[in-house]
A = this chain, B = another copy of it.
Amino acid sequence: MTELLFKVRTLEEGLQLFRQHFDYEYFLSHRKEEIDLLCASRRVLAEDIISQENIPGFNRATMDGYAVKARDTFGASDSLPAYLEVKGEIKMSEKPDFPLPDGQAIRISTGGMLPEGADAVVMLEHTDQLSETLIEINKPVAPWENVLREDEDIKKNELILKKGQCLRPPDIGLLAAVGWDKVVVYRKLGIAIISTGNEIVPVNVKPKPAEVRDINSYALGAAVRETGSIPHYRGIVPDDEVILEGELRGCLENREIDLILISGGSSVGSRDYTLKVLNRLGPPGILVQGLALKPGKPTIVSLNQQKPIIGLPGHPVSALMVFENVIRRIINDLKGEIFPFAEQKTIEAILEKNVFSDAGREEYIRVVLEKRDGQLWAVPILGKSGMISSLARADGYITIGLNQEGLYQGQKVTVILF
């Protein structure tokens, strides 16, 4: 029995085993595509971005006021103001076509371009207009005060974004600033979703007694979309070794599919032949068979023809929790993303009652969030684990770590939201 060769792994051990066998460099090197910057939000950069220009490219006012030579204001105060002659106004978008003479000032708006010779902007609030052509300045400015210098924001040849960064809205803005209207990113992942089990019927069918609808294709498909990947719904495969093998071989040959999820197959017998099939599909085969997670212990991680195949528990609650904690991390690796925070969605709350776990495994406790007396409470859901309704009722879940025995009432906990 293959079963005996494997020991239950911790999540970190399991991920490490996978990473040792998967050739990320080769995988990512074949996934580059150029897309329009308008569509690049949350995509992962496949190349470093080096600015071809100085930004802003000219000395730019950061306040409304007067462009001046800073030294003309030195020593100015309420009792001994500096007087400067005003030479008109610089319009937005216009390049001043004259150098600023000594002792003169010119009206400028935020974003305007300083004329040659000017090296500071006096804020409007620190001036008094004495006439059309004369102002009084009662506070000195230092050189380059209220000015963004021509290369101060971004320097030509500067590395501004790194390969592997997930592009957030501000990054998109940065790329727009340097004129990158197209950008090279990694292709989106295609993820096959297979539900197995004779008892599973399509969602639009009324189940007969002993049958249940195909919840996992829908719930996992939604979870796949949240990772920015494309779900490939492969439907329901009955408990039949030959059909399962055919389906998996089809997925392995399909170039649109990068990762395969099979849920179910935990009924007596079906788990055994699922394991046999996985080991027939090419090396290295099954890497992990059993993870120290609750729920999620029967999780299988296999790698065949450089495509990961993940076996998830058939139960929808377990399948989704394994997705969030195991598959999401494998997907993040495959996406080529280097930044680890962007995927998190959490909220802090006070734990409402004690929860316990066995040492040596990570445990996920679903919680409902409740606001009471201005405090946010995480109320554990401790019902029967077989209830899909309890999963949907949960706002999120908390994690009892590998070496923790529990979490205690009144403790601050981090809730990971669904």
Contact = CB atoms under 8 A, between A and B. Distances in A.
Given A93-B197, A199-B111, A386-B62, A226 B174 contact: no
B169 A57 contact: no
CB-based closest 10 A-B pairs: A173-B219, A93-B199, A113-B210, A41-B222, A176-B218, A174-B392, A169-B222, A93-B198, A172-B222, A168-B418
Interface in A304-337: 314-316, 320, 323
Nearest to A342: B417
Contacts of A226: 41-42, 169
Given A206-B179, A392-B170, A341 B417 contact: yes
Nearest to A94: B210
Interface in A57-114: 57-58, 60, 62, 64, 91-95, 109-113
Contacts of A181: 203-204
A249 interface: no
Nearest to A394: B170
**For A55, A198, A206, which residue has the most chain B Cβ atoms within 10 angstroms?**
A55
A5 interface: no
A16 B1 CA distance: 66
22 contacts: A40-B222, A42-B226, A91-B198, A93-B197, A109-B267, A111-B314, A113-B210, A148-B384, A169-B219, A169-B222, A169-B226, A169-B320, A170-B392, A173-B219, A173-B388, A174-B392, A176-B219, A177-B388, A177-B389, A179-B203, A341-B347, A346-B347
A361 B210 CA distance: 61
A239 interface: yes
A190 interface: no
A161 interface: yes
Interface residues of A, number: 104
A385 B395 CA distance: 37
Interface in A164-206: 167-181, 197-199, 203-206
Given A37-B218, A112-B210, A173-B219, 4 more contacts: A111-B197, A173-B320, A175-B218, A177-B388
B389 A55 contact: yes
Interface string A228-253: 00010100000100000000000000
A221 interface: yes
Contact of A199 (B92, B220, B267): B92
A56 interface: yes
A262 interface: no
B109 A268 contact: yes
A293 to B, nearest CB: 17
